[in-house]
Structure 1
Amino acid sequence: MLFDTTPSLFIALLTVLGYLFGSVSSAIIVCRLMRLPDPRSEGSRNPGTTNVLRIGGKKAAIITLAGDMLKGLVPVLIARMLSAEPMVWALVGMAAFIGHLYPVFFRFEGGKGVATGLGAILAWSWLGGLLTIATWLIVAAVFRYSSLAALTAFLLAPIYLAGTTGDMALTSAMSIVTALVYWRHRENIRNLIAGKESKIGKKK
């Protein structure tokens, strides 16, 4: 790593770069390249993996998922190589996540942040990330609701981060990410309560 104590200006630069990296919308780009409808105008109108699966199938969804996870993973890994401070890693991961939610390149119309958040968690703590992904997979397999899987996984993620890292900055960052995931899923929460939420693979 380059710095044991990272200069403030460099922290700001890394954070801005994290946000810009997160602002690259994998769903929109994949749909354009594959000549699919704009995910902001079809299905759930959310530019994320689940909606791309609805409108474009598994191949497009897998590419979108990989792209979105890398948006959270890569900036934090770069920050880890350049800085010894978990606070810097936390800021960069949150910036990438917020970039996905509110991308400057796409009129601030972003997704719900699940895949990008998972990428950041993996970079913060590989074990915490694997536990979060495992939780998502188990809930999704049992109940077939992507939103419920995300809400459950991210509810437990701060606990996983606290247990695997013991770092307050990373745990606090994870708690903020979880709160934002719940905010972005507020309509899904209402639909789950009302029994109107679409299941994985079902056309909306």
Structure 2
Amino acid sequence: MIELQSVLLFGGSYLLGAVPFGLIISRMAGVDVRLEGSRNIGATNVGRVVGKKLGALTLLCDGLKGFLPMLAAARLLPASEQKEIVVCLCGALAVIGHMFSIYLGFKGGKGVATSLGVFLFLSPGATGISLAVFIAAVGLTGFVSVGSLLAAGLIPLWLWLLGQSSTVILTATVVALLIWVKHHENIARLLQGQEKSWKTGKKKG
């Protein structure tokens, strides 16, 4: 049975995840990031539009949105059979909040940075492997989207190989699927040879 404390943690996780830090930070620089570049509120577009430093700040803030709700749930909840499930749900809800923000009419970003915070909490080791995959993929292809999709898609495998629980693996799988769904436009552009390269800022065939 879900207790009131868990319900409050779920609500807080979603509401924190829904805070559009990329939009807030870009507006501090006098730009509405939703009208520039890819029009996404994530760290990649913020970095392209208003500079790498503010992009890095967005990455940090969005990552903390995924990590902190899980940390709070892990610290506040007493030991129980349901604790791991509640903690994992808090992370998933933070990602959903970022993707479908109540503050932006249930629109939002693609969830990569917030998911990074979730994955880091679930398993620093698996996250480190996927970060290496991300760096290698972006370096070889020039596409951030390719790195994001590969890193997210492979992390359930790393978690399984590292012996994580079924709850953790299922949570990572759901989050990875959400990332892929939110990248449907990028996937279409990649298939059509119209995706923009991070290296050049130009479309590559």
State the alpha-carbon separation in 1 of the partners of residues 162 and 61 from structure 2. Answer: 26
Q: Give secondary structure in 1 for the equivalent of 2:109.
A: coil
Structure 2: distance between partners of 1:164 and 1:124: 11
Could you list the structure 1 runs, at least 4 aligned residues long, displaced by more than 3 angstroms after superposition: 201-204
| CA root-mean-square deviation | 1.6
The corresponding residue for 2:75 is: 81
CA distance in 1, matches of 2:47, 2:96: 23
Amino acid at match of 2:139: A
Aligned to 1:131: 129
Of 58-67 and 75-84, the range deviating more from structure 2? 75-84
AA partner of residue 76 (structure 1): M
TM-score, length basis structure 2: 0.91
CA-CA distance at 1:7 after TM superposition: 5.3
Unpaired runs of at least 5, structure 2: none
Counterpart among 29, 40, 56 of residue 34 in structure 1 = 29
- Output one character per residue of 1:82-139: Cα deviation in whole Å (capped at 9) or x when no partner: 2342111110000000010011122222100000001011011121222222221121
| Aligned partner of 1:162 among 157, 160, 163 | 160
Q: Within the alignment, does 1:190 sit opposite 2:185 as a pair?
A: no
DSSP 3-state at the match of 1:67: helix
Structure 1 residues 25 and 195, CA, compared in 2 at 3 Å: closer, same or farther? Answer: same
Kept in 2: contact 1:43–1:203 (CA 8 A): no
Cα-to-partner distance string for 1:7-52 (whole Å, 9 max, x where unaligned): 52222111111111101111001011121x2111111111111111
In structure 2, what is the equivalent of residue 175 of structure 1?
Answer: 173
Task: Choose from 97, 108, 116 the match for 1:110.
Answer: 108
Question: Partners in 1 of 2:22 and 2:172 — Cα distance?
Answer: 24
Aligned length: 198
Counterpart for residue 199 of structure 1: 197
Separation of aligned partners in 1, 2:123 and 2:174:
16
Q: Residue type of the partner of 1:34?
A: A
Q: TM-score, normalised by structure 1?
A: 0.91
Greater relative contact order, per chain length (Cα 8 Å cut-off, separation 6+): 1
Out of 16, 19, 22, the residue aligned to residue 24 of structure 1 is 19
CA contact (8 A) 2:27 2:33 kept: no
Counting aligned pairs with the same residue, the percent is 36
The one-letter code of the counterpart of 1:49 is A
| Counterpart residue identity of residue 167, structure 1 | S
Residue 62 (structure 1) aligned with residue 56 (structure 2): yes
Q: Any idea what SS the aligned residue of 2:73 has?
A: helix
